Structure 1
Amino acid sequence: MKCPYCNHLDTRVIDSRPAEDGSSIRRRRSCDVCGKRFTTYEKVETIPLIIIKKDNNREQYNRKKIENGVLRACYKRPVSADAIQQTVDSIETKIFSLEAKEIPSSTIGEIVMEELKGLDEVAYVRFASVYREFKDVNTFMDELKKILDN
């Protein structure tokens, strides 16, 4: 780290501790050349994730939208709040593990369906019926047959 006083390129870390917000590290540093001390903060840099919608519009990733979709699919189902949060966490982990700056909403929809299938089959069918825009009973039945055949 460069010294802000003399611009020397080599400084020492004297003390490190979590900052008040808990999401960064506070470091006290000392310059070996001028002897002055200063504080730096280190935090994780997050890359904003952009979602490409069906109509090619782009919007920033919003975890709340996934939570709402999973909650609606699990409405009046015997699924605990903890299980729902773990499912949303798992979905989010899979999304960010793709390490892409832009992801089509269809990819996210498929990940959500995959996770819901393991959580609750009725929730899966509910989500699939909205996500896949079932036009009639036959497409709904086709999706049910896929579940029953597994």
Structure 2
Amino acid sequence: MKCPFCGFADTRVLESRPTEEGSAVRRRRECLECKERFTTYERVETVPLIVIKKDGTRQEFDRNKILQGLITACEKRPVPLGRLEELVSDIERRLRNSMEQEVSSQVIGEMVMEGLREIDEVAYVRFASVYRQFKDINGFLEELHALLRERQERQKAPAPEAAPGEPSGFSGI
């Protein structure tokens, strides 16, 4: 590996470890000439995933575009960046595991909204307003009503039934 500081062609690996999501190996290296240290990442080369946009054009999938949209939607919200990165990684993993080489931007947008709804409802509505191109306040209201209905349905969901032989309401504690 060529040193980024002096260009010398030989380095030694000081430490190797998998990244948190396990999709890459992080290596700390030291140049044998100038002794500077630097980090490299080794990833499996994947087949490009192509996104079909609304206008029919195609472009390579860019996880950073999704992350930037999420960061904008979560601005001034108590959402850790790491949680957004996890969501993007999950979406990318699901897309690549689908074995499809092309995916529509609408599918990606719905996956983002589905994940963001679970993370932060305010950020979800912000993202939805741009993604669904709300023209007026009615678009916001419709989305808010749908969100409230969903929340009420979750709260009404019956509690899990007691196991045979346990009294109902038994919490297992």
What TM-score comes out, normalization by structure 2 length? 0.60
Secondary structure at 1:68 match in 2: helix
1:148 aligns with 2:151: no
Aligned positions of 1:124-135 closer than 5 A: 124-135=124-135
RMSD: 1.9
Residue 92 of structure 1 corresponds to 92
Return closer, same or farther for 1:102/1:138 CA change in 2, 3 Å cut-off. Answer: same
Aligned positions of 1:18-33 closer than 5 A: 22=25
Aligned positions of 1:1-150 closer than 5 A: 22=25, 44-150=44-150
Secondary structure at 2:51 match in 1: strand
Return closer, same or farther for 1:22/1:91 CA change in 2, 3 Å cut-off. Answer: closer
Q: Using the alignment, how far apart are the partners of 1:140 and 1:148 within structure 2?
A: 12
What TM-score comes out, normalization by structure 1 length? 0.69
What does the per-residue CA deviation read over 1:51-94, in whole Å, with 9 as the maximum and x for residues that have no partner? 00000000011111011011111110011122121122122222
Q: Which runs of 5 or more structure 1 residues have no equivalent in the other structure?
A: 1-17, 24-42
8 Å contact kept, 1:52–1:104 = yes
Secondary structure at 2:100 match in 1: coil
Bigger relative contact order, structure 1 or 2 (CA pairs below 8 A, ≥6 apart): 1
Q: Using the alignment, how far apart are the partners of 2:89 and 2:25 within structure 1?
A: 20
Residue 95 of structure 1, CA deviation: 1.9
Identical aligned pairs, as a percentage? 48
Q: Which runs of 5 or more structure 2 residues have no equivalent in the other structure?
A: 1-15, 17-23, 27-42, 151-173
